[in-house]
Amino acid sequence: MSATGLLIFDLDGTLFRTESVTVPAIQTSFAAYGLPAPPHETILPLIGTPMDDLRSWVHERCPEQRADDLFAEIESRELGLIATDGLLYAGVRGMLTELRSAGYQITLCTNGPTEYVRRVVESQDLDVFLDTSRNRISASDTKPAMVRSILAELDGRPAVVIGDRLGDVEAAHYNGLRSIAASYGYGTSEELAASDRVAQSPHDIPGLIAELAEST
C-alpha cells in the first residue's frame, strides 16, 4: 500500500465517544464515596484533557484525604466499562475503512494514558487501521511533541491532524500542518475557530481531507 498522506487522529471526542464510559465512571464513583454525583455537563469539558486535569478536578470536589482513592476508583471503573459500554461515534469504522483503502497512513495522538488507550483500541478493533499510536506518558508528551514524533516516524504526506479540542488545532499548526475540527466532540466552537476545516460528523472527514489535499 503506497501512502497518499498521513492522518493523525485524536481519540476521545473524535473516534471514541468517551462519555459512554467516563461519565458513568465518575458519577458512580462519587456516589460510592457518598459525594454528590457531578452532572453530565460538568464532566464533558474534562474529556480529552490530560489526566492531571481530572485529578485536580477530583481534588477540588473531594476531601483531600480521600481524593487520591476516589481518582483511582474512577480510573478503575472507566477501564472496566470500556469493553462493555464503550462506543465509537457512528460512521467512524466506515470512515477509517474508506481512508485506509485509499492508501492513507493512520495514527492516533491522544492525551489518554497507556492502559486506557490500549483497551479502547482493542475493544473497538481499531488496531487494524493504525500504523502507529502516541499517547501521553509524561508531562513532556504534549500534543505538539507527539505529533512531531509521528512525523519523524512516518513518511506519508501531506499530513493532517483531526481532533476536537484546541490542543489538536495547535499541535497541527505548530508542526506546519492543516487541521480538521471534529465539532461533534467535546471542544467548544471557540476552541476550534482556528481549524482549517470543520467536520460535523465522521462522515464528513474523507471529503474534507480531499479538499485540503487539493488546496495544498
At 114-131, the pLDDT tens digits run 999 999 999 999 999 999
The structural domain count of the chain equals: 2
Confidence of residue 85 (pLDDT cuts 50, 70, 90): very high
Domain ranges, residue 38? 19-85
| Same domain flag for 122 and 197 | yes
Q: Per this entry, what is the length of the chain?
A: 216
41 and 57 both lie in a single domain: yes
| Beta-carbon contacts of residue 39 (< 8 Å; ≥ 6 apart) | none
Average pLDDT value over all residues in the chain = 96
Among the residues of the chain, which ranges form H helices? 19-32, 40-43, 51-61, 64-85, 92-101, 114-123, 143-153, 166-174, 205-215
- Would you place residue 1 in the very low, low, confident or very high pLDDT band (cuts 50, 70, 90)? very low
**Domain annotation covers residue 1:** no
Taking CA atoms, 39 is separated from 45, 46, 187, in Å, by 12, 12, 18
User: 11 with 113, same domain?
Assistant: yes
Whether residue 84 is predicted with pLDDT greater than 60 in this model: the reply is yes
Same domain, 170 and 67: no
Same domain assignment for residues 151 and 174 = yes
Predicted pLDDT at 86:
98
Is residue 132 one of the residues assigned to a domain? yes
Where b means 16+ CB within 10 Å and e means fewer, 13-32 reads bbbbbbbbbbbbbbbebbee
Q: Single out the residue in 85, 106, 128 at which a domain terminates.
A: 85
Query: Do residues 79 and 142 both lie within one domain?
Result: no
Same domain, 55 and 73: yes
Of 85, 115, 142, the last residue of a domain is: 85
Strands 159-163 and 6-9: parallel
Alpha-carbon torsion (213, 87, 39, 67), positive or negative: negative
Rounded to 10 degrees, what is the CA torsion of 97, 126, 9, 92?
A: 50
CA–CA–CA angle 73, 76, 82 (5° rounding): 135
Query: Within a domain: residue 140?
Result: yes
- Which residue, of 68, 85, 102, is where some domain finishes? 85
pTM tops 0.85, yes or no: yes
| CATH number of the domain that residue 104 is part of | 3.40.50.1000
pLDDT over 80 at 2, yes or no: no
Asked whether residue 66 falls in the same domain as residue 133, the answer is no
